[in-house]
A and B are shown apart, each in its own frame.
Chain A
Amino acid sequence: MPVQKPDIGRLVDEQAKAIGLPIAPQYRDKVILNYQRSLAIAQPLLDVELDDALTPGPVFRP
């Protein structure tokens, strides 16, 4: 089944309400643009498959 593209404008509006972040109308378009850019930049990570056994370390040690 093809994955439907999200409605980023609606997602931004509803998510902002959920976390109590007022976004004034003059900022909204740029927030949407930046969310879209984030989706694109995050894609290589989202495409990665991870084993269930791979947990994040509670303390990161280099």
Chain B
Amino acid sequence: MNDPLSKQASASDVARAVMSGKVKATAVVEAALTRIETSEPAINAFTDVVGDRARRRAAEIDSGRHRGPLVGVPFAVKNLFDIKGLPTRAGSKINLDGPIAARDASLVRKLEAAGAILVGGLNMGEYAYDFTGENAHYGASCNPRDTTRMTGGSSGGSGAAVAAGEVPLALGSDTNGSIRVPASLCGVFGLKPTYGRLSRAGSYPFVDAFDHLGPLARSVEDLALAFDAMQGWDPDDPVCTDRDAEPTLPELGEGIGGLRIAVAGDYFERGADSVAHDAVERVAKALRATKRIVIPEAAAARSAAYVITAIEGSQLHLPRLRTRPQDFDPDTRERFMAGALLPGAWYVKAQRFRRRYRAAVQKLFEEVDVILAPATPCTAPRLGQVMMKLGGVEMPVRAHLGLYTQPISFVGLPVVVAPLQKPDGLPIGVQIIANHYKEAAALRVARHLEKEGVASAPAE
């Protein structure tokens, strides 16, 4: 077990220490606030630190008023989650003029009900239309492994805060890859659950058809702890499932026995740096996964996800594009404007295609339980980098970091990103994809890789 006051401590390290009385929650919070103060000049992961609130909450825990599986665990949330008393920035300048949140987002309340302590709001790409972690208003979040490089986005602050050890647990959102891309580039574990599995109430929307929320953490156990604490129906999110909560933590130790695991071929084997494919091969070898399967029409799925995102996201912001274009981030403004002009017929076709693709993907899960694929086509690009070469072809960084994540979230499959570290290099993640509502299977595979020493959070 790591020292619960250190930056290497996982959420479960902290919770166990607080629960057993080895350490006070107030000491844990003070240590986290000190780490944030020390790291922020280089990392820029936080836009809001709620120190007074966190200290009050920790004092209540120490007086025995709250218990739970995450007792005393400091956490932070992407700033599209409502935090009572603050404007919900969603990475924008415009929203600072909007309403002050009257209550915390649903998932913040659920984590606090499990004993965790909110310490702040995290930097993100404007309105979540981003894969880089850059932001013209608040500055880029910087990759803790190399601060001249991108964190990935749009949950860039979430990836950076966990990778830098500022907090052991963060929440992000993922519409097309915004948890999975920063988890890969920053080298931490991330979980994008099944669409509709966790409530989005009290979070600022981007694309209703694809918006998911989920945790980033230093260990698989922490993902499971947080996911289990956040499950459950919520009438405030019309998409939220009314299925009973199915705890994943008890299944974590079951290993990979009985799971049929395959590597995604074809589309997912093209157009990436060799480092991304090598990572998948390393994971497949550790899992003894020799089968290859083809997810049919993945290129069209990525294309359809792009179209739905551009049209839904742009429609949401159209009133502000008309009246306050100068207040948008220059990296999102013209993309939103172009999206607002795309033909409606494309949108309907994309939604019709989605039904066919979903059926084809469901069929694959008759043959396999888990599919492996790269999370990103490369390691972290340099901050400000506009173009990159993939498979010999020059392409824009911003649109293509989500090449392998978009066809998966398009039909709401649950995914765990397992990070692979390189002692003298940059980390990269692998997607562990399961069938709808089978988060436990993806978590079991990730836990096995963690136990085998293949996947891990940064050591330092």
Contact = CB atoms under 8 A, between A and B. Distances in A.
A45 interface: yes
A30 B341 CA distance: 13
A43 interface: yes
A45 B300 contact: yes
Interface in A16-62: 16, 19-24, 27, 30-35, 37-38, 41-48, 50, 54-57, 60-62
Interface stretch (B114-122, B273-281, B345-353): B345-353
A43 B411 CA distance: 20
A31 B349 CA distance: 23
A48 B297 contact: yes
Given A21-B321, A48-B300, A55-B352, A62 B194 contact: yes
Interface stretch (B13-21, B90-98, B153-161, B301-309): B301-309
A20 B357 CA distance: 35
B313 interface: no
Contacts of A41: 302-303, 306-307, 399
B182 interface: no
B348 A56 contact: yes
Contacts of B346: 42, 45-46
B195 A50 contact: no
Contact of A27 (B194, B302, B325, B350): B325
A21 B348 contact: no
B360 interface: no
B396 interface: yes
B413 A62 contact: yes
Interface in B332-350: 333-335, 337-342, 346, 348-350
B261 interface: no
A37 B396 contact: yes
Contacts of B310: 38
A23 B334 CA distance: 9
Contacts of A33: 334
**Majority secondary structure of chain A interface residues (helix, strand, loop or mixed):** helix
B299 interface: yes
Contact of B337 (A11, A20, A34, A43): A34
Contacts of A54: 352-353, 355-356
Given A43-B303, A62-B195, A62-B436, A55 B412 contact: no
Contacts of A4: none
A42 B325 contact: no
Contact of B304 (A16, A19, A45): A45
B341 A56 contact: no
A24 B352 contact: no
B401 to A, nearest CB: 14
Given A35-B341, A45-B346, A22 B322 contact: yes
Given A12-B341, A21-B341, A62-B413, A34 B335 contact: yes
A15 B341 contact: yes
Contact of A31 (B304, B337, B350, B436): B337
B337 A21 contact: yes
B320 to A, nearest CB: 11
A61 B334 CA distance: 32
A24 to B, nearest CB: 7
Given A33-B334, A62-B194, A62-B195, 11 more contacts: A16-B337, A22-B322, A32-B338, A34-B337, A37-B399, A38-B310, A41-B399, A50-B349, A50-B353, A56-B348, A56-B351
18 contacts: A16-B341, A19-B340, A19-B341, A20-B322, A22-B325, A30-B333, A30-B334, A37-B338, A37-B399, A38-B339, A44-B303, A45-B307, A45-B346, A45-B353, A48-B349, A54-B352, A56-B354, A62-B411
